[in-house]
Chain A
Amino acid sequence: MIVRVEGLQKSFGARQVLRGIDAQVRKGETIALVGPSGGGKTTFLRCLNGLDSFDAGLVEIAGLSIAPRTQPDAPELRALRTRVGMVFQGLYLFPHLNALENVMLAALHVRGEARDVVERRARALLQRVGLGDRAAARPRQLSGGQQQRVAIARALAMEPEILLLDEPTSALDPQMRGEVLMVLRDLAGTCTMLVVTHEMSFACGVATRIWVFDEGRLVEDGPASEVTVNPRSERARAFFRAVT
């Protein structure tokens, strides 16, 4: 198991956003996290690399564990984050660096690898996301879809054991979503991925399992064929009716 979560609970003030989540992921799986807004998908994902702290429960990921109430800037999270990559909904490339430098930065300074090794890997990754010719471009010279592809390459440059993606296509125009989903489809199977998404075609076509979050609970967990066709919960049934 590359991810093991037991009894995960989190509140923002009086509002409980995660009400005891139990979940496991095997190496190489692609999980699509779906469900209505406010259901807790994004918070759950952010708890997996410590960007949000949680109140109770257990998180084990990539061989390391996070204790409840670990602050987001705690030094013990740094080792874990080098093994767990993340891609955000917002386009958070570093604007003062070009595409290649964005991809290289963490491997150079966090992992302390030699520059030539890092550069070779970074160029290969840009090639893999279809941007081999835009290495010298600044983020503002790239389209949204291109920026998100660079962000995926940036996360992959740390050679993570697992990749967390938080709505990677929802800030993009429809025509740009395709190019990002294409990259993710290509990655599926070679890398463990947890993707929060509203793209049901991607969830059904690529993910090995679909998780439906609703009101802080994981209400469905299974292959698309089971979950979408014959959901167990009324809430999940309503959700799929609405999105398909």
Chain B
Amino acid sequence: MAIGLVVLLAASGLARIRAQGEVQWAGDLQGGEPYVFRDPRNPATLVGFEVDLMEALAKKLAVRERFVQNDWSNLVPSLERGDFDLICNGLEDTEALRQRILLSRPYFHFAEQLVVRRGSTLRTLDALRGHRVGTLASSLAHQILRAHPEIEIVLYGGQEEPYRDLQLGRTDAVLLDSVIAARYGLTKPDLEVADPDVARGTYVIGMRKGDEDLRDAVDAALAQLGASGELTRIFTKWRLPELPATSHPVAPEQPPPATFDQAQVMLFFGAAGVTLALTLAGMALAIPLGLLLALSRLYGRAPARFLSHAYIEVFRGTPVLLQLYILYYGIAPLVHFSAPAAAILGLGLNYGAYEAEVHRAALQAIPAGQGEAAAALGMSRGQALRLVLLPQALRTALPAMTNDLIALLKDSSLVSVITVVELTKQMTITAVDVRSWALPGALCAALYFAMSYPLARLAARLEARLENSGEEPAAVPAT
């Protein structure tokens, strides 16, 4: 059995899938229509032009096909790890990718299209210097935009959001391929194509190095499917306009793989600054908000008690990721926050709910006699809180608040979903550029630690100072 497994692993790609009886192919369902997605009428089955393509391909290879879900931006590392046999998910042919994995012949040709708001005067990449242009992270369009350093690139994880932000005026253009532009951009009446053919690109199937025989088999199968008209039939079914293959270079000159140099390190420091600023600003919002919620829950009238309790349960009981989405995209037609503002607000509102419970617990831990002693001295409730109860509660709450501050430092990485580039996002971008996770990952971890540890030390010193002020420790013996 063990020997059989070793033989299986050592076998070349084609022999391996024949032995398995199936080819495992990966994509990301988040990519949605028309690639590979759940059938809206029957969510148990997957549909899409890539499903049709893989079924046809598997038939030619005389095996079954099985889909493996994988986050789009990590398809290549997962392929290299051996999680599946091939990638078929709008994978774009680039020089950088060629150096890393085996690519099939193209199965689809597309154009990169520049979409703008209807009537916009900024209609070329040159005109967009100094402006914000949206695209998907680690896409061909992303690489094209990076050749224009004057353009401010705004990165997204899904296809819908870039066009949403373009409509809202958060960006001035979106550069993405014609399939996405037709499905997600041009369906919006207030958007139009400014340049329908910025560059050409192709979708290819990706395979591991060493699986050359599988690549050859896939190429042969694709050629047969093309010649028989099967490919055209699939693309027509999915209303995908096939562009004529061009002889001119697919994409602009590919930049050589970046090295992890001083410029990258400086980007990391900048992103760490963003993370720290988000964390401190978020906490600066969360602490007073939490205090307000705790006080109204403990001492407020019935409606205030109910509202603060409801706030705490809702914000604590739903994911901060969802709250960020709603703040930035969901309510954008009503309230228009900038990305950093939405990020700080989202983190602050969420952590406010946690701080509220920390403050409430700390206030409730104070003996009732403290409040009575203050009242008996003629203090108003406000004076008792300010002079007697809150200073004591703060000391109790400090360790938990430090905990939350450090948790927030790490949770702040979630705001990359609303286009803020902070430390973790910078790490993933750099990792793609330099084609390695090791060094960027280590630097990222080091920077997080370099921020969280001093914060923890600072809090510990504050705690010690609050605890130990008073006279010299017991120099005068008690009589």
Contact = CB atoms under 8 A, between A and B. Distances in A.
Interface of A: 49, 51, 72-73, 75, 77-79, 81-82, 85-86, 88, 90, 92-96, 98, 105-106, 109-111, 133-134, 136-138, 141-143, 146, 154-155, 158, 179
A133 B477 CA distance: 11
Nearest to A138: B470
A73 B470 contact: no
A75 B470 contact: no
B387 interface: yes
Interface string B351-380: 000000000000000010110111111111
Task: Among B370, B375, B469, B476, find the residue whose CB has the most chain A CB atoms closer than 10 A.
Answer: B375
14 contacts: A73-B381, A82-B377, A86-B376, A93-B373, A94-B392, A96-B391, A96-B466, A105-B377, A110-B378, A110-B379, A136-B470, A137-B476, A141-B474, A146-B478
B478 A51 contact: no
Given A75-B380, A79-B378, A134-B471, A92 B372 contact: yes
B383 interface: yes
Contacts of B391: 96
A85 B376 CA distance: 7
Nearest to A142: B478
Contacts of B369: 88, 90, 92
B470 A94 contact: no
B146 interface: no
Contacts of A154: 377
B376 A94 contact: no
A93 B388 CA distance: 10
B376 A78 contact: no
Contact of A81 (B378, B387, B469, B474): B378
Contact of A158 (B378, B381, B469): B378
Contact of A82 (B374, B378, B381, B387): B378
A106 B370 CA distance: 13
Nearest to A140: B470
Pairs of residues from A and B, 6 with the lowest C-beta to C-beta distance, nearest first: A138-B470, A136-B471, A106-B377, A82-B378, A92-B373, A92-B369
Contacts of B388: 94, 105
Contact of A95 (B379, B392, B479): B392
B278 to A, nearest CB: 32
A22 to B, nearest CB: 25
Interface string B147-159: 0000000000000
Nearest to B379: A110
B395 interface: yes
Given A92-B373, A133-B476, A137-B471, A106 B381 contact: no
A192 B200 CA distance: 97
Nearest to B395: A96
B372 A158 contact: no
B379 A109 contact: yes
Interface in B151-198: none
Interface string B99-131: 000000000000000000000000000000000
A105 B388 CA distance: 9
A60 B329 CA distance: 64
Contacts of A85: 376
B473 to A, nearest CB: 8
B383 A94 contact: no
A93 B369 CA distance: 9
Contact of B375 (A73, A79, A93, A109): A73
Given A105-B387, A109-B383, A137-B471, A94 B373 contact: yes
